[in-house]
Amino acid sequence: MTSNVINEQSTQDAHDDGHHDHKMTGLKRWLYTTNHKDIGSMYLWFSFIMFLTGGVMALVIRAELFQPGLQIVEPDFFNQMTTVHGLIMVFGAIMPAFTGLANWMLPMMVGAPDMALPRLNNWSFWILPFAFAILLSTFFLESGAPNFGWTFYAPLSTTYSNGSTAFFVFAVHIMGISSIMGAINIVVTIMNMRAPGMTYMKMPLFVWTFFITAYLLIAVMPVLAGTVTMVLTDTYFGTSFFDAAGGGDPVMFQHIFWFFGHPEVYIMILPAFGIVSTTIPAFSRKKLFGYSSMVYATASIAFLSFIVWAHHMFTTGMPLFGELFFMYCTMLIAVPTGVKVFNWAATMWRGAISFETPMLFSIAFVILFTIGGFSGLMLAMTPVDFQYHDTYFVVAHFHYVLVTGALFSIFAGAYYWLPKWTGYMYNDTLSKWHFWCSLVSVNLLFFPMHFLGLAGMPRRIPDYALQFADFNKWVSIGGFAFGLSQLIFLVLVIKCIKGGKKAEAKPWDGAEGLEWTVPSPAPYHTFETPPKID
């Protein structure tokens, strides 16, 4: 009798331990939570706040460039804006947003009850706000915020830096620790917690892209840590890693930084491939075309990303053989990327497409990301890059990849899963307004930059010659329009959380077997092929 009572009590205790998240309320719940959905939500909200913060900095930049001459800010503050804007958008907006999506959806897609390391998951989120608090606090220092560009090239970040370098280094270290812990969690969850019968080649492509991205993070984040540590010791401890006077080499900084930096840009785009590979089949009512080729293409891109770093350095005076090697390897990346674009188009081909907002963002992603890919192919050519290097052409290229690429895919994923997350359908009219306003303004913002760059306008300079005035005016108008468009999304999400029309079990009419409604293990493909009509 007694043993039965003890067993019942211990069972109850275990049950209580497993569900302690739901007993805590208010701030305590969010501070101590180990629930993957709560942590995913916190990542997503944090990334959106950082997105708006970095966006305000971009608007300061665009306000200054609205017309020639210095009107609003001093050149040094202008450079602080460009630096912190880049750091916040890369480490504070895009990467945490993808980590948030991974936290929310990965356990459900592989049939796991939660992430494998829940407490580590909590920690990896909660150190992020402190990292960005440290970075943003530099604006209140007498010397000002970092002003050496988000790539912090030596000697700008060492010999000529202002007093904020130590804060910058500390903040980057914490961001890197957070990324590594999040990546380890993703790898362990996917490898050890898949549902029975779910082999690697049966995993949804969303899972595959995050799996590969996590390996990239684990490989390159320590390289960034080493780089910023060398910058720190060069600045404050008398070492000469990047100082030629002491036997160092400033070009070595670029090699080490871009060995991190190039895989990093793929860390910011591979998860986007996974999201659109989920949404396009759903709204085409077809299974994804060429699943295995998509997996191999993703792995190929990840591998090639490690051997193309010096294409950022064609103008540093490397030997001709080096230039040829990096040029050809860079062009080679176009092949697996082309496979992906072809497969997305083939998935949509003869599909019963419905143009819901997630599908609109996904189609815009495919088209506009491809434009970014083509301009990247132009920059891959060494003699051409000599002309385009450090002009607005480069700015246009990477913003097409990261805004109309990574950011649009995040919006596609958010709209696709919002009914799942909140239990309510979002306001369809507002979502369409958000899409069309974003689409028009983002192209007005970034497309003219190609022409500015081809005409020779240098980046990161607060003033410019009169011949660039007209294009810059339109670019700035596009920038403010794009920024204001994102407030529509904020209103829409808040309205959706508060309530509205209840979401059905399968909210997308006719899209059978969405990943988060199928029982584990998931089928080989997500959607049934429509029957042939004779």
Q: Which of 266, 388, 400, 415 is catalytic?
A: 266
Count the domains in the chain: 1
The closest of 518, 444, 519, 527 to 481, measured between CA atoms, is 444
Three-state secondary structure call for residue 424: strand
- Across 203-231, average pLDDT: 97
Active site (annotated) includes residue 114: yes
Q: Which of 352, 258, 271 is nearest to 109 (CA)?
A: 271
The one-letter amino acid code at 187 reads V
The catalytic residue among 38, 114, 234, 515 is 114
The arithmetic mean of pLDDT across residues 249-270, rounded, is: 97
In a domain, 50, yes or no: yes
Q: For all residues of the chain together, what is the average pLDDT?
A: 92
Is 70 exceeded by the pLDDT of residue 12? Answer: no
Q: Would residue 150 show up in a list of annotated catalytic residues for this protein? A: yes
Q: Which of 62, 173, 262, 450 is catalytic?
A: 262
> 25: pLDDT confidence band, cut at 50, 70 and 90?
confident
Average pLDDT, integer, range 211-239:
97
CA–CA dist 430, 448 (Å, integer): 28
Per-residue pLDDT, averaged over 135-142, amounts to 96
Lowest-pLDDT choice from 215-229, 308-322, 364-378, 504-518:
504-518
> Does the pLDDT value for residue 98 go beyond 50?
yes
Active-site residue identified among 83, 158, 179, 189 = 179
312 is catalytic: yes
The reported pLDDT for the residue numbered 26 is 85
| Tens of pLDDT, residues 28-54 | 999 999 999 999 999 999 999 999 999
Pick the catalytic residue from 36, 194, 286, 340.
Answer: 340
pLDDT of res. 519: 40
Choose the weakest-confidence range: 25-34, 207-216, 503-512. Answer: 503-512
Active site annotation includes 15: no
Task: With a cut of 70, say whether residue 504 has pLDDT above it.
Answer: yes
Confidence band, pLDDT 50/70/90 cuts, at residue 116? very high
* Phi, psi (degrees; rounded to nearest 5) at 60: -65, -45
pLDDT surpassing 70 at residue 534: no
Classify residue 314: in a domain, yes or no: yes
In a domain, 524, yes or no: no
Is a pLDDT exceeding 60 seen at residue 290?
A: yes
In a domain, 423, yes or no: yes
> Rounded to whole angstroms, how far apart are CA atoms 449 and 443?
10
- Residue 505 belongs to a domain with what CATH number? 1.20.210.10
User: Considering the entire predicted model, what is its pTM?
Assistant: 0.91
Range 75-85 average pLDDT: 97
Q: How confident is the model at residue 22 (pLDDT cuts 50, 70, 90)?
A: low
> Catalytic site residue 85?
yes
Q: pLDDT at position 510, please?
A: 52
Report pLDDT digits (tens) over 446-460. Answer: 999 999 999 999 999
Would residue 450 show up in a list of annotated catalytic residues for this protein?
Answer: no
- 300, 390 contact by CB (below 8 A): no
| Residue 150: per-residue pLDDT | 96
Asked whether residue 405 is domain-assigned, the answer is: yes
- For this structure, is 460 an active site residue? no
One of 432, 459, 460, 506 is an active-site residue; which one? 459
* 264 is a domain residue: yes
CB 379 within 8 A of CB 324: no
Quick one: average pLDDT of 332-336? 97
Query: Is 178 labeled as catalytic in the residue annotation?
Result: yes
Does the pLDDT of residue 244 top 60, yes or no?
yes
List of residues 6+ apart from 26 with CB closer than 8 A: none
Whether residue 365 has pLDDT greater than 80: yes
In a domain, 531, yes or no: no
pLDDT at 145: 96
Q: 254 lies in a domain? A: yes
* Residue 324 domain boundaries: 32-517
Can you tell me whether residue 455 is helix, strand or coil? coil
